[in-house]
Amino acid sequence: MSSLKTKKERVNEVMQLILEGMTYLDACKHVNIQYSVFLYWVTNIKACVAIKDEYEKQKLAIVETALFRSAVGFEYDESHVSKRGKKNQRTGKFTEEEIIQKKITKRVMPNVHAQMLYLTNKDPENWVTESEAGNDLAMQLEMIRQTIAEANIDNDIMEDPPQIEEVKEADIVVKNKSIDN
């Protein structure tokens, strides 16, 4: 049982390092376990699988939060420190230093692509990209072709069905499905 606890602790350490930005391989080296052993643990030992799954959820939450912040914009503070010396009139040398610290608030503007990605993934019933809409149209065109082909077979007409030009995917632009174009 102590062996399992050690494994759980080590998996926890590796996953925490990964959460902080390390790669799986580097985190395993840091914790002093082989990557293949770590993979075995997180795929075959239930307690270790649960730990890995929990950390994966945390990673997704972090990325989702970052995506949302990018979509709506945010502010952050930056601190600038500089030194300014005073020149001694007699010697011509700088004798005193004054440290100046400025706090600057910077604003990151909302990102339209992040908004599109967030809305199409979080509210897919109401938001769709043009490429997805194009796929729906392509499916409708294929259904029309099949209907025409079936009608021609039923009527013993041997003509080819009319050719309908293929729909090409456009640039991805978010559209609200409820708005008619």
26 and 66 assigned to the same domain: yes
This prediction's pTM: 0.53
Tens of pLDDT, residue by residue over 90-119, are 777 777 677 788 899 999 999 988 988 888
Range of the domain at 24: 2-72
Residues 6+ apart with CB under 8 A from 49: 42, 43
Structural contact between residues 31 and 23, judged by C-beta atoms closer than 8 angstroms: no
User: How many CB atoms neighbour CB 14 within 10 A?
Assistant: 27
- Are both 144 and 162 inside the same structural domain? yes
- Are 68 and 84 within one domain? no
**Do 66 and 85 lie in a common domain?**
no
Reported as a pLDDT band with limits 50, 70 and 90, residue 176 is very low
- Do 128 and 80 sit in the same domain of this protein? no
Does 118 reside within a domain? no
Q: Which two tokens stand for residue 145?
A: 């072709």
Give the contacts of 42 (CB within 8 A, at least 6 positions apart): 11, 48, 49, 51, 52
Predicted confidence (pLDDT) per residue in 17-54, tens digit:
998 989 999 999 999 999 999 999 999 999 999 999 99
In a domain, 142, yes or no: yes
Residue 30 maps to a domain: yes
For residues 68 and 6, state if they share a domain.
Answer: yes
Domain presence at residue 96: yes
Tokens 């930056």 -> residue:
78
- Beta strands at 127-129 and 74-87: parallel, antiparallel or unpaired: unpaired
Same domain, 10 and 57: yes
Number of folded domains that form the chain: 3
Residues 6+ apart with CB under 8 A from 104: 77, 78, 79, 80
38 and 8, same domain (yes or no): yes
Interstrand relation of 174-176 and 94-108 (parallel, antiparallel or unpaired): unpaired
Same domain, 13 and 50: yes
d(CA 148, CA 160): 9
- Regarding whether 54 and 93 lie in a shared domain, the answer is no
Residues 78 and 68 in one domain: no
Q: With contact defined as beta carbons under 8 Å apart, do 43 and 49 qualify?
A: yes
Kindly state whether residues 93 and 130 are assigned to the same domain. no
